[in-house]
A and B are shown apart, each in its own frame.
Chain A
Amino acid sequence: MWELLKIELLKIFRRPRTYIAFGAITAIVFLVQLALKLDGKSYIDLLLSNLSGSFEFSDEFKSKLLNGYLVCFAILTALLIQMPLLVSLIAGDSIAGEANMGTLRLSLIRPVGRTKYMIVKFLASVIYTIALLIWMAVLALFGSMLIFGTNDMVVLRSTGIDQIAASDVMWRYFAAFGYAAVALTTIAALAFLLSVFAENSIGPIIATMSIIIVFTILSEMNIPFYDDSIKPWLFTTHMVAWKGFFYVKATDDGVTITGSIANLPAILKSLTILLGYIAGFVFIAIWVFRKKDILS
């Protein structure tokens, strides 16, 4: 299986298009960092505009606020909405691409079971997804820490502000990246499933993105009917649960409790739902593929 996986990884990483995603992430992260380095004050003023009536913010405060942790959080918020496209580029191509090139039947001539073949294909997509995420973590987190330094992290939510001491931030990022890996694997699993039904990779990629866009809109809409019925079961609702690691508990008088997570059961529930989606998508993909008449 390992040999098979190595071959699949070799296929993925020898294709130039694989590096489009790495290049795109590098460009986006660098451009955001550059913009914030040059004009971070405007961004901070925008963030604090709602608070300026009650608090006074010195230039020193603003420069401390614009630290590597905040910049990374802003990049992740923006990128984790775009990253599914980059993930689906590879995962959506995994089976459909082979079908398109006419190599799928050839691949299955080898003495490898279809289930094993599918698992290896999926694992290769997951490894690519994790590699992409690690690359983003290195650039967005460590790069921003290098450029902007570190300080307490302030998370601005729609109804409140969570301030986390600098010493209490790093483990949260590791947990958040771990969670994001599962969230993006869900996308990879969806694209992988759709890939089984298609003869070229464009279809699964566009279908994956369409589903994500529709689900994201539904997740962000504040309509009570959807809130209670549909939203809790959309995977896009749970993909942003990585942010939950940055929501902290506080004492009755508002003092942050170090090492706390405001609602860990909610994160675990979201994680379970995403794992359920991954298992469901992969199972259906394998089941369909096993029954499929491979003609190309």
Chain B
Amino acid sequence: MNRTIRSITRKKRNFHLIAVLLLPAFLSFSFTEAQTAQEVIAQIKAKVEKVNDYVAQGKLKTNVAFIKAPVANVKIYFKKPNKVRIRNTSGISFIPKGSVNISLDNVFTDIDSYDVIDAGRDAKTGLRIIKLLPLNDTSEVVLSTLYIDDSKILVMKATTTTRDNGTYELQMTYGRYADFGLADKVIFSFNTREYKLPKGVTFDYDTGGTKAEENKIKDRKGKVEIDYSDYVINKGVPDSVFQ
């Protein structure tokens, strides 16, 4: 009787051992992505390639520590492969360097010149993370990281590190034009350089700013928000717009 009980206990122990050993393999199998990173990228590329050109109306908000500016009405022009122009329809807008990157066409048109690396999923958002490493050592772009909603085949966030112009970040919100991969709202974050003009040049009226204001001005992060209200897609855009 005792021998039978001992034998059953041993079998149970072996089963647990096997289960523990096999669990990682099982988990890894169950979490293997349905699509490879290359396939996801190919699907997004197909979506983006539907757009040859567009003209969009939008409202542009500049949020840079040392700039106070009104919200501007802008027109955004795009033409393949990578021509982008943001034009203020009435007033003046400070457009950051690298704003051409508000269109992801730059990346997807030239996707063959990148190594596509699957970096798993973002723990908080569950978005697929795919890194793009340029094959060319002298490329201006050093690394691009895309955060992709692979159920909708949409890039929700993109971070691009460049050789000369710092790191850009794009955050996209989609709506009516999601089928074309075109966002309703884009937040473009960028690095700014220090701004300072000599007081002897500006002859400022010194109203005595607070320490908090002075510290805020030193912030080197800038943001441009574009709320798109309307797109006119594939109706042709003359090259003269981009000159």
Contact = CB atoms under 8 A, between A and B. Distances in A.
Interface string A235-248: 00100111110011
Interface string A31-73: 0000000000000000000110111100011001100000000
Interface stretch (B15-23, B49-57, B89-97): B89-97
A151 interface: yes
Looking at chain A, what size class is its interface with the partner chain?
35 or more
A40 B217 CA distance: 29
A166 B199 contact: no
Most buried by B among A50, A53, A162: A53
Given A55-B97, A152-B91, A163-B92, A220 B200 contact: yes
Looking at chain B, what size class is its interface with the partner chain?
35 or more
Contacts, number: 130
Interface string A123-161: 000000000000000000000000000011010111111
B197 interface: yes
Contacts of B196: 50, 158-159
A26 interface: no
B83 to A, nearest CB: 13
Most buried by B among A60, A158, A262, A263: A158
A112 interface: no
Contacts of B201: 158
B87 A60 contact: yes
A176 to B, nearest CB: 11
A12 B177 CA distance: 71
A250 B161 CA distance: 31
Interface of A: 50-51, 53-56, 60-61, 64-65, 77, 81, 151-152, 154, 156-166, 220, 222, 237, 240-244, 247-250, 253-256, 258, 262-263, 266-267, 270
